[in-house]
A and B are shown apart, each in its own frame.
Chain A
Amino acid sequence: MKLVLYLPQIILSLVAIFIIARCFISLFSMRPAGKPKAVLINKDSGKKLAISTYETSLGRAKNCDILLASTLASRSHAVISRRKKGWFITDTDSKTGTFVNGEQTEGSVRIYHGDVITIGGVDYTFIAPHAGREDGAPPPVLNSGVSGGLVNLATNYEYAIENGRITIGRNENCDVVIEDRMVSRLHAVVQYTDEGWVVTDNDSRAGVGVNGYRIHGSEPISGGDKIMINTHIFVFKDYGETGRRDARG
């Protein structure tokens, strides 16, 4: 039967489709990366404006990420952006200008935790973790307000994450000690970063899984995710910035 010779042609086409489908499914089901977190606090009213994208536009126009009510603010007034080095604010040709700690800005200006930003006559305090000035006194870190927990599913014991960071490993110094030879000395770290909560595999031998799939490097996580260290499973709980479990209860 010469027809057998046709089989490779069919297989080739199917393999081509499989390769494409598999690659794109993987691309599409990719987890969105973590989000940067910072807050602008209106000095007068105490109202909080959350900044949760890498570039956040402020202004009166509806398509701005943060809507400003002040009539002195321009339609598109300024952009706050998270760059590799830190946070920046850029005035985008506003009429009344943008001020950082009382000084009018020109181009992009780096901003730090605790800076006062004046837009359209309104003062805002900029609150951001890991954005303190290197030289000055360390700012009150946002991390202290952030807490979470890791629940060992086998024992139901909950490890509290106090300072926005918890280490997992075989070594006694780790916050969560697992006595298992398959677990590396410092196996993984769960920490609060600018992008939110992240679990990082410290090049461990057995690897780290999140919700059943092995991760590579760092992976953002959110409350309810299952973190797997070898055969040990922990459920991560996010108690947010304001407080602990009892504070929510």
Chain B
Amino acid sequence: MAKKAEDKALKMRKPHKRRPLKTIPMLILLTAYQLYLFSQLTVTNIKELEINYTMLVYFVVFIAAEWLYVILMRAIAKRRNFEIELIGFFLTGIGFAAIGSAKPDGLLVQTGAFLLGLIGFIVLVWILGDNERAMKLRLPLGILAILILVANIFLGSDINGARNWIVIGNAISIQPSEFVKIIFVFVGAATLEKLQTSKNLYMFIGFSAACVGVLFILKDFGTAVIFFLTFLLIAFMRSGDVRTIALALASAALGGTLIAMFKTTVKNRLATYRHVWEPEMIDGKGFQQTRVLIGIASGGLFGLGLGKGNVRDVIFSSTDLIFGVVCEELGFITGMAILACFMLFAVYAIRNARTSRSTFYSIGATAAAGLLLFQASINIFGVTDVIPFTGVTLPFISRGGSSMISCWALLAFLKAGDARTYLTTYGEIKKK
């Protein structure tokens, strides 16, 4: 009798349905997608087979790096799941295509940064594999972040109104705040043991205040907003205390008002908001937003084809306005798909929190996903006049070496949050 009942219970329970992604077929599809995109840019004349060889080299290196990464990780780290990296490759690929259309000169730096970013990703995933190792690194990294930002105040040069660049020699210019993003998430995440002590939270609040403060001095308003939002997210996850958040919000509101009063740029942006089509704005302060909106409408749902847009001729098209380039040339659907990626990363981080091996991973993954989502949202909605315009870049897509590296590093936090990444550590066969 008992056995029968048990058998029945067995049958009643539906087996867990899941289809793990087959990496190689998906990578082939992704490569085909990217090859088509890139061919539109490299083959300038089909009949006479004129090929832009310089661009071809960058694209070949990019695709080769994808394959090399997957093959190596399968062979060495025995990983079988690459969904997160595939989405990263997808986004980066669209970025390459859009930059190839808007500013082909930028591809050299972009390719180099992608390779560095991928290496950074591998290293960071390894570091995060042992959370004791990671916890030990927090303090030195936090100090490093502040040092980088302070160095930025003294060494930085003004580019486009913000002082957020350090130029080394004449060739290399880096954006320190991009690297501080990684450290910010790193320092923000803490294991449950550390979460329980309030001293730790205050240290983090102090660290955040220092970061945001320096960014204000640097006039890097957009990045400061992203840091602040990420701070709110981390602070809530760490304390769960609404009072802390209320205090932070109140101080932010006060600070925000002061900024609005004193900084003409901020004031101008608020004045432009929702008025971009007005005659005195359309070619002035609303120039970028209107051109992006015109581009989005012109592109329709499926786009006009790579290299056929007009947004690409607008200044900052490869950085701030890249969303307009993507929408005009690849279509609004692709543009929304990019935004969906960032939203789904955040959803994924939430879902993963329960099964995570440590709050370090769950907070790290959520903070990284949150930061990427904030930045993407502020960029996309800023250039389309849904919210006031703030000059931040679109993660993975916009041109910018420092940004590319930091995006891939942030992706490492999501990868570390994936319970399958380090599964072999625990589930190995112990040979008798």
Contacts and interface: CB of A to CB of B under 8 A. Distances in A.
Interface of A: 6, 8-10, 12-13, 15-20, 22-35, 54-57, 63, 76, 79, 81-84, 90, 92-93, 108, 189, 191, 193-195, 198, 200, 202, 211-220, 224-226, 235, 237, 248-249
Interface string B295-329: 00000011111000000000000000000000000
Given A17-B337, A20-B87, A22-B26, A195 B193 contact: no
Contacts of A93: 196-197, 199
A193 B302 contact: no
B348 A200 contact: no
A92 B10 contact: no
**Closest CB pairs A-B (n = 4):** A218-B427, A216-B80, A92-B196, A26-B21
Contacts of B37: 12
B92 interface: no
18 contacts: A12-B331, A12-B334, A13-B303, A16-B94, A17-B337, A19-B26, A20-B337, A22-B26, A26-B20, A32-B419, A54-B356, A55-B359, A191-B429, A214-B20, A216-B80, A217-B427, A224-B9, A226-B15
B193 A9 contact: no
B322 to A, nearest CB: 16
Contact of B305 (A9, A15, A218): A9
Nearest to A59: B196
Contacts of A216: 20, 80-81
B15 A189 contact: no
A57 B192 contact: yes
Interface stretch (B28-36, B229-237, B261-269, B375-383): B28-36
Interface string B90-119: 100010000000000000000000000000
A92 B87 contact: no
Interface string B63-86: 000000000000000101101101
B89 to A, nearest CB: 9
Contacts of B17: 29, 211
Contact of A32 (B13, B354, B425, B426): B354
B130 A28 contact: no
Given A76-B196, A213-B19, A200 B419 contact: no
B12 to A, nearest CB: 9
A92 B199 CA distance: 11
Contact of B428 (A20, A218, A248): A218
A38 to B, nearest CB: 14
A224 B199 CA distance: 47
Contacts of A24: 83, 87, 344, 348
Given A31-B18, A33-B423, A200-B428, A23 B86 contact: yes
Contacts of B90: 16, 19-20, 23
Given A23-B86, A28-B348, A218-B427, A16 B333 contact: yes
B131 interface: yes
B240 interface: yes
A224 B10 contact: yes
B48 interface: no
Given A12-B37, A30-B81, 7 more contacts: A13-B301, A20-B337, A26-B81, A81-B358, A217-B80, A217-B424, A248-B2
B191 interface: yes
B23 to A, nearest CB: 10
B132 interface: yes
A64 B245 CA distance: 21
A202 B431 CA distance: 10
B355 interface: yes
Given A81-B191, A195-B427, A33 B355 contact: yes
A92 B18 CA distance: 39
Contact of B193 (A16, A29, A108, A214): A108
Given A24-B83, A83-B132, A6 B302 contact: yes
Given A20-B341, A57-B196, A30 B303 contact: no
B76 to A, nearest CB: 14
A215 to B, nearest CB: 8
Interface string B336-379: 01001100100110010011111100000000000000000000
A19 B130 contact: no
Contacts of B301: 13
A72 B261 CA distance: 53
Given A32-B419, A54-B358, A79 B193 contact: yes
A194 B334 CA distance: 44
Given A15-B29, A23-B87, A195 B426 contact: yes
B344 to A, nearest CB: 5
Contact of B20 (A17, A198, A213): A213
A16 B33 CA distance: 8
B334 A27 contact: no
A217 B78 contact: yes
A33 B361 CA distance: 14
A108 B81 CA distance: 33
B420 A30 contact: yes
Contact of A19 (B19, B30, B80, B354): B30
Which of B16, B17, B33, B80 has the largest count of A CB atoms less than 10 A from its CB? Answer: B16
Contacts of A81: 191-193, 358
B26 A23 contact: yes
Nearest to B426: A195
Which of B37, B199, B419 has the largest count of A CB atoms less than 10 A from its CB? Answer: B419
B19 A29 contact: yes
B148 to A, nearest CB: 30
B44 to A, nearest CB: 17
A12 B331 CA distance: 9
B233 to A, nearest CB: 18
A194 B21 CA distance: 27
Contacts of A193: 426-427
A79 B301 CA distance: 52
Contacts of B21: 22-23, 26
Nearest to B360: A55
